[in-house]
Structure 1
Amino acid sequence: MKLTKSNQIKFILNPILIGMLGMSVQAQAKTDVDDNGYAMVVTANRSAQSISDIAATVLVVEGEQIAEQVKSGVDFKAALANLIPSLDVGSQSRSNAGQNMRGRTALVMIDGISLNSSRSISRQFDAINPFNIERIEVISGASAMYGGGSTGGIINIITKKGSSEELGIHGETWIGAKSGFNKREDIQYQVAQSISKTTEKMDARLAISYDQAEGRYDADGDMILHDFAQTPSQFVSQLDILGNVGFDISDTKRLELMAQFYDSGQDSDYGIDYGPSYSYLFDPSRELEMVEGYDLDDQARTKRIMLAANYSDSHFFNQTLNVQLYYREESLRFNPAPNGAFTNVSASEQETSVIGTKVVLTAQPIDQLKLVYGADLEFEQFEATQSYYNIGTAAASNGLVYDPIGDAGRYPDIDTTSIAAFLQAEYELNDSWNLHGGIRYQYTNIKVSDFVDSEQQYAGLIGDTTNYDAIEGGSNDYSNTLLNAGILYKINEEQQVWLNLSQGFEIPDSAKYYGQGTYNADGSVANSVNVSDSPLEGVKTNAVELGWRLNQESLSTQLAAYYSISDKEIELQDDFSIDVIDNDVRIYGLEGQLDYALTNALSVGGNFQYIVSESKTDGKWQDLSVTTASPSKATAYINWATNITNTRLQTTQLFDYEDANDEEIDGYNTVDLLTSVRLPVGSMQLGVTNLFNEDYETLWSQRADVFYGLTNLTDFKGQGRTYSVNYNVKF
């Protein structure tokens, strides 16, 4: 780590970094807890269980903790990284691209419904307003109990429901704004309202939140460049409508329904000045700027509809039955950018629809043995279009004006069917020792349509060719048996140690793998990537973890050492397609968090992750590329709380990283000040993010520098000092 004198001063504000030991189970505000204060969670083994009985690294982040961060101006993705040790720092763009857990992909869910898809688009956190989050359950490391994409861990976002301790009608209001006071566009504001009703047999909640973000500015007062690839979070309006209703059918049976409409769209008059004919891109020394005059009708957007029905019966033939039916439909649109050869300008829109069901049964045939078993079934349809624009108009306007000329296919249509069965067992040897083990069998079928390479379709669109053949599609099957095993030793009621082994499986992005091809002059296929000749291989990961946790009245801490190895490496090609190569990839490290109450008013804490990421190339282990490797990081805080006010000073440090090709990530440090004041009615939150106005490039920006090779175009600076105010009231 390289620390300037300024950074050293900032770290003095965080004495806990010197003696930090491990990771805590966060204070539980609403989550059910056991007799020793450990939270009850449902994600780890897919049934309600105390954290103290789980042989894995488990963390619960309460909605109040998320609210404290975001109401004080902290970006949602940054807030998650502040509170989850194994999660990389956020991008500050719309995307969570490159935001890994334990150096690998994470499975993100809302109420147990996966937001991951066969097409690996990283907008899982562009999915819900924090106003609607009750808590987040986090499992670090590979999981054999869930499908693909969970090799790094699981983040399950639990939404607020209408249930309340009091019968009647209740509500909650948020009103907030934040700004760096740079220019008139430097403003973001939010208003959110919920109403809930609870009777003896029914509870319901309806919430509407609206967030409007204008421009964002860096530490020098300049508007931050739009993320041309993953799309920005500037000039974006977000609407989240979420409804839940629950019915107690009987003393043992309950039905819950959930519906969400989420729309996050950009409407910007500002764009990147690329220069005449995009000439500024060819001068890396030139600093690109944002200017007015951006003219694009269909700007970047995330639109999602999600429906779910959950039925539970706690006395189903002496078992507990949980059944979930769900449907998710989403459209993800990107902004136009020139292709690598500057022969066209285009933007993609990618649509996914998913329908599925999960059945989970929990049984206890004898006192010492608990069984959780069931099945998952999911069917996904994916298709993508590419919108092309007049390249002459775009080039003449410095890349600001986009005149559409037509649409074509972007990727092959892909249908994915997944069927899985699982069994998880927990056996209590005695009061101190618990054994855990499980198995998951998963069958996945991927059906790829016939497809014409997108460049060839563009040639047809503009009339350069009228004859071209399709690249043949096909079907590919994947059958996997995933195992997990663990042993937990309870030292006493307050602390445990554990050892676990788990397997994960991931099918790489099928769309970015298939459908690539080159053509002869007569339109026939010269070479291609297709199912028959080069079927896509899956990646299997084996992981082991050794951990310890302690939960006392004034001290909560947890520490885990982990090691994971996968049998293949996913490699990005120059045309942004992917290949799967037979290189082992190993990632290992240490993660932890600590919270300690020094007095009734003063507490300190923090978390960290030390991580090493390597691939085996030509028989030698080498550091992974900066485009995928997770740098180590640490956070710390000091908190002062009274009956009237609460003040939290927190810092995040990203450490330097250098890969085998001498590409570097420069670490940076930010400090935030969060304050809340209880008023006679409601409360007010005041915040200052990036307190010292640190000038830095985000982690995603530095990854993108290498990923795209266009340093001036990927100079995405971090947001400068920003002030926020929020008022909230419950009734």
Structure 2
Amino acid sequence: MKFKTSLIALSISAALLPNIAHAQDEDIEVITVTSSRMDKPVSAIPNTVTIIDQQMLEEQFRTTKDLSTIIGNLAPSFSPSRQKMSNTGETLRGRTPLIMIDGVPQSNPLRSGGRSGQTIDPAMIERIEIIHGANAMHGLGAQGGIINYITKKPTGDNEHQVSFDVTVPNSLDSDGVSFGTSYAFSGESENLDMIGSVSYRNNGVYYDANDEIIGVDTTQGESMDSQSADFFLKLGHNFDESRLELMVNHYTMENNGDYMAVKGDKENDIPTGAIEQEQPWEAANNQVTTTSLTYTHQDIAGQQLNLQFFNQNFEAVYGGGCWEDFYDPSMEGSDQVTVCGTGSNGESLYYEQSRNKSVKWGMKASMMASNIADSGVSIAYGLDMFRDTTEQDMVVSGASWVPESTYDNIAPFAQIDYDIIDNLTLSGGVRYEYAKLNVDDYKTLYGYGDKHIEGGSPDFTETLFNIGASYKVNSALRVYTSFNQGFGMPDVGRVLRDGDNFQGANPSIEDTLALDPIVTDNIEFGADYQGENFSAKIAYYRSSSDYGARMVDKGDGSGSFVIKREKSVIEGIESNITAYLGDHDDVGVNIAIQNGEYDSNDDQSVDTDLDGANISPNRINLFWTHNFDNDISTRVQANFFMDKDFKNADNHVYANFDGYTTVDASVAIPVYDGMLSIGIQNLLNEDYYTYYSQTVGKDTRYFKGMGRTATIGFTLPF
């Protein structure tokens, strides 16, 4: 694989490191990363780590509440937001990340569905921890890394906070106005501390830079013309050396169903549009309840115990359509259906849609001993247990599209850190994955082969390894390298529901290789510097999988994807530099460059570029923040998305991306005892098509990006 862009980033690194290696030692604030399973400081983790703290989140909230956009602004190896309810195709380092809330998985291993990014309101989040690259410490699909939303904690004081915000489009049209509000409280008594909040958000329609309504995605889900609500509660009790904590978060998002799509024409540069018309089916929606009970003890025979039990109930309804794939002869002439057209064989097609339901239960138990007998050795070991029961059915006919499937996973693990000499830490770990899938006999939908499939209980085992080294040249500069393996399952639901995956006279799920796990190998080299005048990070990574899972649009307009199992290799460079100009100004640049290829002809050699559903664009993010003496603060940020051609094995361009630049600006002003914020997203009103639309979208999903919007918000603690 060719990767010429690495020369650019390595040249930047070569220019920086000789200068920063002579920096004077200084005390650096230690930030502990709980997602590491060893509660390590960032400086001890041999991977690229991004911490998005509360201040950074509040700066981003001035212009957007979309978490995918926020993560992309601050961790540019994450894909640009689709600006929809669905996050299908949003990857980290070109692979699917594991999204968690306080360590509770939000991703669905059996049937992804593309909704794991819509399970919590941003107002409930204290910080976001991102560990880049394949990681086995949490298992379950962290091929691209881990994105852990850490929820807010009680402050110890009895206090309340209310916030309001209003967003208006450039056109000032009333149907494009969005607004949100939240209320939070925090308190503490002798026996109990608590924090809770409720929020409500109403999104208007989105307008592009030409003041035209952006097309709606009536199938996978649409965030414009929608309403969302979130209820969050955390209760805790501190014992002498331990703590018990309960967290509950319930999130709903519902599209109003008031707009229908107008088909675009990608070849002639005509975007998908929208008209005000009631959808003839139940509008897409999301309902998620996440619960965890966590017990920690600081000293059990000199070790720290972390024990967590969790549950997630997930239900997503997808929009409808008039497709031959969903036709069922048994529904012909039924009063239950609404006829919408005629199929290629003269059959009467009807509106149909699907619903994905998943229930997860799990336990995470770990023990950690630090600096055992002053030897410099620290160890963490434990056991993860997980069960996911998932089914995808049809809303109108009640037919099963993906049969009820149960996934059981048991994974013991151990991780060792050894401070072999001053400033040099070696780390290594092993995780044993045992996974079992249980599926009863079932039949695929009529449009998916109408095949009777014999069920079964295939099981899978994998032993995953990681090893790393981190060396502190001085208190400001460190270099590191690591090898990590990630484990995950392909989208089991997409495999089971497609009859083409099962061949022969008596097909069985035991006979298809498409269900085999995905093991991803990630190699990384990097350097971090944190000094008085500036900070810098640079990392090179190579991620490979001999039997990966690539999403391919089925091409029938239904929004369905099929899974292709192929070898894939992704290489990339991540770099960021922040300069601290005096006491008031920070100026920075973040760079993410990556290239990915897959094996198109099964010769074990990668030859074709991965498309926009699987890999992010190359981008450069610039920012400037200024803090005034009177506590007024400003931020200006620009995102440069670079042009890219996607080539096949014959070196012919099969897709291309026309890059674009967006600029955001915001200001926060203290008013009385609160904070007033004003933000403008897409300040220059850039006219563009989204990355996903350009690289993957068809005529029905050729969406423009959002034009200029202005947001006014006010937060008042009392």
TM-score w.r.t. length of structure 1 = 0.86
Partner of 1:244: 234
**1:676–1:686: 8 Å Cα contact kept in structure 2?**
yes
Partner Cα distance (1:71, 1:726) in 2: 7
Partner Cα distance (1:282, 1:219) in 2: 18
Name which of 346, 356, 360 aligns with 1:350. 356
Q: C-alpha deviations, 1:102-135, integer Å up to 9, x for none? A: 1111011000001111212222221111111111
Name which of 367, 379, 389 aligns with 1:381. 389
Task: Supply the AA of the counterpart residue of 2:508.
Answer: N
**2:218–2:283: 8 Å Cα contact kept in structure 1?**
no
Partner Cα distance (1:233, 1:387) in 2: 21
**1:681–1:729: 8 Å Cα contact kept in structure 2?**
yes
Partner Cα distance (2:442, 2:55) in 1: 48
Q: Give 1:337 deviation, angstroms.
A: 2.0
* Aligned-pair Cα RMSD in Å: 2.6
Partner of 1:12: none
Partner of 1:80: 71
Q: Give 1:622 deviation, angstroms.
A: 2.9
Partner of 2:245: 256
Give aligned pairs, total. 659
Partner Cα distance (1:193, 1:515) in 2: 43
Partner of 2:208: 218
Q: Give 1:252 deviation, angstroms.
A: 0.4
Partner of 1:542: 521
Q: Could you tell which deviates more after superposition, 469-478 or 335-344?
A: 335-344
Q: Give 1:348 deviation, angstroms.
A: 0.8
**1:22–1:559: 8 Å Cα contact kept in structure 2?**
no
Partner Cα distance (1:409, 1:518) in 2: 17
Matching of residue 163 in structure 1 with residue 146 in structure 2: no
Name which of 469, 478, 482 aligns with 2:460. 478
Matching of residue 639 in structure 1 with residue 625 in structure 2: yes
Partner Cα distance (1:670, 1:586) in 2: 30
Partner Cα distance (1:680, 1:729) in 2: 9
Q: C-alpha deviations, 1:268-290, integer Å up to 9, x for none? A: 3221246xxxxx88997766532
> 3-state DSSP class of the match of 2:693?
helix
Q: Give 1:626 deviation, angstroms.
A: 3.6
> 3-state DSSP class of the match of 1:475?
coil
Matches within 5 A, 1:552-701: 552-571=531-550, 572=552, 574=554, 576=560, 578-581=562-565, 583-617=566-600, 618=603, 619=605, 621-642=607-628, 643-661=630-648, 662=653, 663-701=655-693
Q: Give 1:189 deviation, angstroms.
A: 0.2
Partner of 1:193: 183
Q: C-alpha deviations, 1:344-401, integer Å up to 9, x for none? A: 532111000001111010013322110011000011100111134xxxxxxxxxxxxx
Partner Cα distance (1:510, 1:39) in 2: 37
Partner of 2:490: 508
Q: Give 1:616 deviation, angstroms.
A: 3.2
Give aligned-pair identity as a percent.
28
**2:468–2:483: 8 Å Cα contact kept in structure 1?**
yes
Task: Supply the AA of the counterpart residue of 1:235.
Answer: D
Structure 2 CA distance for partners of 1:624 and 1:282, relative to 1, 3 Å: closer
> 3-state DSSP class of the match of 2:217?
coil
Q: Give 1:448 deviation, angstroms.
A: 1.9
Task: Supply the AA of the counterpart residue of 2:463.
Answer: T
Partner Cα distance (1:97, 1:63) in 2: 27
Partner Cα distance (1:179, 1:323) in 2: 45
Partner Cα distance (1:423, 1:49) in 2: 15
> 3-state DSSP class of the match of 1:568?
strand
Partner of 1:15: none
Partner of 1:302: 286
Structure 2 CA distance for partners of 1:529 and 1:194, relative to 1, 3 Å: farther
Partner Cα distance (1:147, 1:87) in 2: 20
> 3-state DSSP class of the match of 2:353?
strand
Q: Give 1:147 deviation, angstroms.
A: 1.1
Partner Cα distance (1:518, 1:679) in 2: 62
Partner Cα distance (1:380, 1:429) in 2: 41
Partner Cα distance (1:646, 1:283) in 2: 45
Partner of 1:722: 709
Partner Cα distance (1:525, 1:427) in 2: 51
**1:73–1:722: 8 Å Cα contact kept in structure 2?**
no
Name which of 248, 271, 280 aligns with 2:260. 271
**2:170–2:708: 8 Å Cα contact kept in structure 1?**
no
Partner of 1:313: 297
Partner Cα distance (1:328, 1:285) in 2: 42
Task: Supply the AA of the counterpart residue of 1:414.
Answer: S
Structure 2 CA distance for partners of 1:503 and 1:266, relative to 1, 3 Å: same
Structure 2 CA distance for partners of 1:600 and 1:381, relative to 1, 3 Å: same
Q: Could you tell which deviates more after superposition, 361-370 or 102-111?
A: 361-370
Gaps of 5+ in 1: 1-17, 24-33, 275-279, 389-405, 460-467
> 3-state DSSP class of the match of 2:111?
coil
Matching of residue 433 in structure 1 with residue 415 in structure 2: no
Task: Supply the AA of the counterpart residue of 1:125.
Answer: G
Q: Could you tell which deviates more after superposition, 593-602 or 332-341?
A: 332-341
**1:109–1:156: 8 Å Cα contact kept in structure 2?**
yes
Gaps of 5+ in 2: 1-10, 17-25, 326-342, 344-348
Matches within 5 A, 1:404-423: 406-423=397-414
